[in-house]
Structure 1
């Protein structure tokens, strides 16, 4: 990215709470990622498969051979320039929304983080505990430290469940979705071509609709933070990134 585009994306993240960067990955690179995902053992407890959704939790841990394909010099430059050199991956999910899916997600903010174990720590709660998974709502400043990077493995638009967002809503703190007035704050659909990435802040109010065009929507979702958690809590996933050789 040039200095001009870096400044543009920083401004969009600060003002709107999201930005889209096209053509980060080539067609062949996306094909390699899909091949690795398809060849993974899908029987583990962190793999979820229904008629409406296929998802892999702790994706980088469950499919470790995907990491070199994701953390290219281009992605590491994005992380360094837009997030900061201290930001590291702390949560990863792979989503595959089939073309015939009726699955949709109502308006919400991403208010939980994944941690290694449940500990009684002031300011952290409520908790969601599933087999091998511990999720908790942290203090707001932790949520504000997070950037979410979404790598699109398919062309995504309004017909196959592209995210809809309320620009600038990330700056309002934590608030209820039922307080939204779409007449006052119109939503925007974030259409992203295959190989592009969308970056968003977790407190950005967002939703997604059902698929209507028969096309899949496959996305790799990775969250980054530069914060340590309180009271002995540890992020469920932490992967260090090297920024050497990028200057």
Structure 2
């Protein structure tokens, strides 16, 4: 797998798509494990428009081996670096009839183990005993996100739309997007493919209009230590 082109694309544009990372069989196995779990826990969120599992790799440890196949390990080492660890994982299932859409935004928070008064960290939010905080920008700039697609995804079932290069513009308020200079790209990903993106890339997604599912495993990686009092809420080599 020659990954230099993808590494450059992430640096330059803030994202890249790599298809054929997982086989049909690997995707089916991952899907079967998710299908058979107890969904009554409070880290699971269920509505008509979305089913989500927070701390996905912690909650369902039996998927880890399948998720971190040889291809993904190579990609992490080659593109991110040796010392990157998992700091957040979520599973999203956008059902066939979902009206769920997401307006343009940047991912500005990280998940941590507790709330602490630390200069440069804030504002804070708490969801289902999960602490999230906006950290200093250099921590956000250092994160890579991998989105593993368990279904083929295009603009008709909620593929991400992104604004290339917006990851390099610091905190970028969506209401200030100047469409005379910015362009939108739709990131179609095949089943078994991945999208890698930087959290500061402006991104959003449309409602599903073609009656097809969109299941995605979202994993964030960093090689930064947090200040003394704080730990990443997930922390996995």
Return the TM-score normalized by structure 2: 0.99
Q: Give the whole-Å Cα distance in 2 for the aligned partners of 1:181 and 1:161.
A: 23
Q: Give the whole-Å Cα distance in 1 for the aligned partners of 2:182 and 2:228.
A: 38
Report if aligned partners of 1:58, 1:91 keep a CA contact under 8 Å in 2. Answer: yes
Q: Which residue of 1 aligns with 2:214?
A: 217
Report if aligned partners of 1:121, 1:231 keep a CA contact under 8 Å in 2. Answer: no
Q: Give the whole-Å Cα distance in 2 for the aligned partners of 1:200 and 1:237.
A: 19
- Are 2:102 and 1:105 aligned? yes
What is the CA distance between 1:64 and its match in structure 2? Answer: 0.7
What is the CA distance between 1:73 and its match in structure 2? Answer: 1.4
- Are 2:203 and 1:206 aligned? yes
RMSD: 0.7
Report if aligned partners of 1:148, 1:200 keep a CA contact under 8 Å in 2. Answer: yes
Residue deviations 1:181-228 (CA, integer Å, cap 9, x gap): 223211000000000000000000001000000000000000000001
In structure 2, runs of 5+ residues without a counterpart are none
What is the CA distance between 1:40 and its match in structure 2? Answer: 1.1
Residue deviations 1:81-100 (CA, integer Å, cap 9, x gap): 00011001000000000111
Corresponding pairs, count: 237
- Are 2:133 and 1:124 aligned? no
Q: Give the whole-Å Cα distance in 2 for the aligned partners of 1:84 and 1:41.
A: 35
Return the TM-score normalized by structure 1: 0.95
Aligned partner of residue 147 in structure 2, secondary structure = strand
Alignment of 1:158-237 (within 5 A): 158-237=155-234
Report if aligned partners of 1:94, 1:218 keep a CA contact under 8 Å in 2. Answer: yes
